[in-house]
């Protein structure tokens, strides 16, 4: 995403353009130019903004237009702070809050924890000043998404600087006070030597935080500020912040481009295209959801078709196997069930046991089980499933008992029952056996 940090102060306009992605932030352009009139400023902005199409524009208003108060709140959640601020500052300022736009910046954000005491810088800007600023930019064809105080950008710059670069950072009339890398205060000062000058603001910071400023860092070379600080006994260094080796012509505009969490465009001044953007995102989400649903449905249909085709092919192969196995049979509606029925019928007809025995095996077992001294003649041999019915004739009743005893010894038979014995007219004993096989046919 391309972000433009725009800084406009009396007689000077500066901007830094950064390309910010998920893992990389790069400075792609910057400029700083003086101007004498508003008309000249508009011309400069019209010329430079030709390259800003589609970018997020963060514009700043000079910090001396703002009224600010530092508050201590017992929580750090941004939404809770926004709700509490109007009530906290209402009795601290000599004007009606309906005439200002209010926002805040959490100090010491790196160390603050949820539901703990938090230092909050409350910033208030008259609506008339904000309206004039937006009108000026509109003349140049610019409608910024975000409006911030000029000094707020230094909070982002401070995060780029080593801790040992000094407790005071200055960039023109904007200054930032920090301690051990933690942000303590921000504000702008007047260029005059009145109560709003650099010396006065420096003393105010030292009194408020009970700490002597020993070292200061200038972000742009400023002989006047250097002289004031040196006279106050403060060591001064000049350090130009950079991103990946690139330096912005105005470091404050770079910080403005990198700033998050502050925006005075709210209420009646809210960025109008924001709603349109939200609706566009909602439409995109709805369309994406519909496309996902269609793709899901198509996926299910394709999978069903593939499975159904596979089952159809398998079913055709089973029917072909059935036709080849039973060529004389009718076409099978349910070939698997009908093949099982055929197998069951075959078992009954041919006496195929699970052990691999057949009806001939059963007959041989019966024949082998007849004692050698007994002469027998069979008149009936019926094998149905696990039941064998035998009928024959022998010379005596004792022979019937011997036959039963021998057949009972066979591992193939589970039970041998004599159902009938009687003497025939030819002095032959007729008998009838029912034998239960150990395994069904």
CA-to-CA distance for 205 and 286, rounded, in angstroms? Answer: 52
For the chain, list residues with pLDDT below 70: 108-116, 191-196, 273-283, 328-333, 344-358, 439-441
Angle, helices 223-231 vs 198-209, to 10°: value is 50
Length of the chain equals 441
CA-to-CA distance for 38 and 33, rounded, in angstroms? Answer: 13
Q: What is residue 192's predicted lDDT score, i.e. its pLDDT?
A: 54
Q: What is residue 346's predicted lDDT score, i.e. its pLDDT?
A: 64
Q: What is residue 357's predicted lDDT score, i.e. its pLDDT?
A: 55
Q: What is residue 441's predicted lDDT score, i.e. its pLDDT?
A: 43
Q: What is residue 46's predicted lDDT score, i.e. its pLDDT?
A: 94
> Cβ-count burial of 17 within 10 angstroms (0-12 exposed, 13-18 middle, 19+ buried)?
buried
The domains found in the chain, sorted by start residue, are 2-271 (3.30.420.380), 351-437 (3.30.1360.100)
Q: What is residue 168's predicted lDDT score, i.e. its pLDDT?
A: 87
pTM above 0.95, yes or no: no
Answer whether 17's CB lies under 8 Å from 2's CB.
yes
CA-to-CA distance for 428 and 302, rounded, in angstroms? Answer: 79
Q: How far, CA to CA in Å, does 259 sit from each of 18, 111, 152, 306, 420?
A: 12, 18, 8, 55, 111
Q: What is residue 17's predicted lDDT score, i.e. its pLDDT?
A: 94
DSSP class of residue 161?
Answer: S
Q: What is residue 353's predicted lDDT score, i.e. its pLDDT?
A: 46
pLDDT digit string (tens) for 30-65?
Answer: 999 999 999 999 999 999 999 898 899 999 999 989
What DSSP line would sit under 222-274, residue for residue?
-HHHHHHHHHTT-EEEE---EETTEE-SSHHHHHHHH--S-----GGG--THH
Q: What is residue 39's predicted lDDT score, i.e. its pLDDT?
A: 94
Q: What is residue 253's predicted lDDT score, i.e. its pLDDT?
A: 92
pLDDT digit string (tens) for 63-119?
Answer: 989 999 989 888 888 889 999 999 989 888 888 999 999 999 998 644 445 556 888
Q: What is residue 37's predicted lDDT score, i.e. its pLDDT?
A: 94
């Amino acid at each position: 995403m391309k972000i433009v940090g725009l800084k406009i102060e009396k007689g000077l306009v500066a901007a830094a353009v950064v390309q910010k992605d998920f893992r990389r932030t790069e400075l792609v352009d910057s400029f700083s130019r003086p101007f004498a009139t508003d008309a000249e400023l508009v011309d400069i902005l019209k010329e430079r903004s030709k390259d800003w199409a589609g970018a997020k524009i963060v514009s700043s208003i000079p910090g001396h237009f703002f009224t600010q108060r530092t508050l201590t709140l017992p929580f750090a959640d941004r939404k809770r702070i926004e709700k509490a601020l109007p009530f906290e500052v209402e009795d601290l300022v000599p004007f009606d809050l309906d005439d200002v736009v209010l926002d805040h910046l959490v100090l010491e954000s790196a160390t603050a924890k949820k539901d703990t005491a938090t230092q909050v810088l409350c910033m208030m800007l008259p609506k008339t000043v904000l309206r004039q600023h937006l009108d000026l930019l509109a003349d140049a064809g610019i409608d910024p998404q975000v409006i911030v105080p000029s000094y707020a950008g230094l909070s982002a710059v401070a995060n780029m600087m080593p801790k040992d670069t000094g407790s005071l950072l200055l960039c023109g009339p904007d200054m930032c006070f920090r301690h051990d890398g933690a942000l303590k205060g921000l504000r702008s000062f007047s260029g005059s030597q009145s109560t709003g000058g650099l010396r006065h603001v420096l003393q105010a910071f030292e009194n408020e935080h009970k700490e002597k400023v020993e070292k200061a860092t200038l972000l742009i070379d400023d002989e006047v500020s250097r002289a004031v600080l040196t006279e106050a006994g403060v060591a001064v260094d000049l350090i130009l912040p950079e991103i990946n080796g690139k330096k912005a012509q105005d470091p404050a505009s770079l910080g403005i481009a990198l700033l998050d969490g502050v925006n005075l465009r709210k209420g009646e001044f809210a960025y109008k295209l924001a709603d349109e953007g939200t609706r566009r995102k909602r439409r995109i989400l709805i369309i994406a959801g519909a496309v996902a649903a269609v793709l899901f449905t198509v996926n299910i249909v394709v999978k069903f078709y593939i499975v159904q085709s596979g089952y159809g092919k398998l079913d055709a192969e089973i029917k072909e196997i059935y036709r080849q196995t039973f060529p004389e049979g009718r076409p099978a509606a349910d070939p698997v069930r009908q093949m099982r029925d055929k197998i069951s019928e075959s078992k009954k007809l041919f006496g195929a046991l699970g052990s691999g025995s057949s009806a001939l095996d059963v007959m041989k077992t019966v024949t082998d089980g007849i004692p050698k001294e007994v002469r027998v003649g069979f008149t009936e041999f019926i094998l149905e499933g696990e039941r064998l019915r035998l009928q024959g004739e022998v010379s005596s009743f004792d022979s019937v008992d011997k036959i039963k005893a021998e057949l009972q010894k066979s591992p193939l038979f589970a039970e041998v029952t004599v159902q009938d014995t009687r003497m025939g007219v030819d002095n032959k004993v007729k008998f009838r056996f029912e034998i239960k096989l150990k395994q069904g046919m």
